[in-house]
Amino acid sequence: SSEVLEAIENVIQGVLQSLAQNKAPVLTVANRTDWRNIEFKDSVGLQMIPRSTTKQIRSDCPQSAKRFALMLKILSMIYKMVQSNTYATKRDIYYSDTLLFGSQSVVDQIINDISCMLKIPRRSLHVLSTTKGFVAGNLSYTEEDGTKVNCTCSSTVCIINHKDLNTKDLTSRAKFMLIVEKDATFQRLLDDDFFNKVSPCIMITGRGIPDLNTRLLVRKLWDSFQIPIFTLMDADPHGVEIMCVYKYGSVSMSFEAHHLTVPSIKWLGLLPSDLERLNICKDALIPFTKQDQNKLASIQKRPYIACQPLWKKELEVMAASKLKAEIQVLTSLSSDYLSRVYLPNKLQFGGWL
């Protein structure tokens, strides 16, 4: 906490020095979303280059004066929270003055800018994501306050929150982890008692694009157990993108890649080639939209696809067919095909990329 306070004090000192010299104060932040500032490393994923281009948020420019003021406002809030050892979600910060901030996305972007500017991980700023991820399966741990949590009972689904990231006594007999894209599929696998039937495993869902806590937990479990991690996603560009966020990280959070990515993650399904292999009826597939085509073209150009020739082939299959499918399409074969046939066969015979 002293490091965070000192980093904020240095920023404010710079503002005061500018004012003392009759200069307009300026905050300098890295261009987080510029691909020219990003490099790809097999062992880490997408990370920000050391000397990235920056942008200035000036206090004397009409276009940036409000953003400058909002950054100081949020820095002040963070400083008080770190001092008093209290926490707030990004949503709490937005609702503390909705008229001032204007929108939740403004708050989210500023917090990420501050984290990048101070070179301090976001969780150390005492700002939490609104929790949405779930974990279940062969996992138990003790929270900071001594509460014992056991996810092994099939009826126990634990919400992933910041307390899970400071847990101790993490224990598991899991042979692998399964990251599931959607909550509906996750719940279906729970109903089928999947994580006990095949072999002990840990199941996680970020319920779509994963929040920071879910990504941090996946990384923590990987560091703790070093077991294989598989992803179960829809066979569409959106599903591929979500899988890439877990595996390689996102451009906007590339400055924190070392804490968030697990490059050893494998693509288990639903593979575009599976649709033909399993003779899925064409009527059950969904035609691409223009947005799907653009998303897929963008993914195919990314630096990490070049080092994944088998992924590249699957994306070419998807691009050629211009068709996508949700995991639920497997119910057209039988209601429990996913848990009874598809996943056991994939895991037993190595059907992952």
**Helix, strand, or coil here: 332?**
helix
pLDDT in tens, the chain (353 residues): 888 999 999 999 999 999 999 999 999 888 877 787 888 888 888 888 777 778 888 988 888 899 999 999 999 999 999 999 888 888 899 998 889 999 999 998 999 899 888 888 877 898 887 678 888 888 888 877 777 888 876 556 777 776 656 667 788 888 999 999 998 898 888 888 887 777 889 999 998 888 888 888 899 899 999 999 999 999 999 999 999 999 988 877 777 777 888 889 999 989 999 998 888 888 888 899 999 999 999 999 888 888 889 999 999 999 998 999 999 888 888 888 898 889 999 998 888 88
The pLDDT score that the predictor gives to residue 153 is 64
CA angle 232, 186, 208 (to 5 degrees): 65
Chain centroid to CA 113:
17
How far is 232 from 293, CA to CA, in rounded Å? 21
CA distances from 207 to 42, 144, 228, 279, 327 (A): 26, 26, 21, 28, 14
Q: What does the alpha-carbon distance between residue 261 and residue 220 come to, in Å, rounded to a whole number?
A: 10
Q: Which is it for strands 148-150 and 140-142: parallel, antiparallel or unpaired?
A: antiparallel
- What pLDDT, on a 0 to 100 scale, did the predictor assign at position 51? 79
The whole-angstrom separation of Cα 199 and Cα 154 is 14
State which amino acid sits at residue 152: T
What pLDDT is attached to residue 138?
Answer: 87
222 within 8 A of 45, measured Cβ to Cβ: no
Do residues 197 and 250 touch, judged by C-beta distance below 8 A? no
The contacts of residue 16 (CB under 8 Å, 6+ apart) are none
The separation between CA 8 and the C-alpha centre of its own chain, rounded to angstroms, equals 26
Instruction: Return the pLDDT at 163.
Output: 62
Token pair 């100081």 is found at 72
In this prediction, residue 35 carries a pLDDT of: 80
β-sheet bridge partners, residue 30: 54
User: Residue 252: CB partners within 8 Å, gap ≥ 6?
Assistant: 32, 33, 112
The torsion angles phi and psi of 169, rounded to 5 degrees, stand at: 55, 40
In CATH terms, the fold of domain 134-349 is Dna Topoisomerase Vi A Subunit; Chain: A, domain 2 (3.40.1360)
Is 337 catalytic? The answer is no
Q: Where are the domains of the chain?
A: 2-128, 134-349
Fold entry, domain 2-128:
Arc Repressor Mutant, subunit A (1.10.10)
3-state SS assignment for residue 235:
strand
**Which of these is catalytic: 79, 87, 94, 95?**
95
Q: What is the dihedral of CA 67, 70, 76, 79, to 10 degrees?
A: -70
Q: What is the helix (H) or strand (E) element at residue 5, kind and residue range?
A: helix 2-20
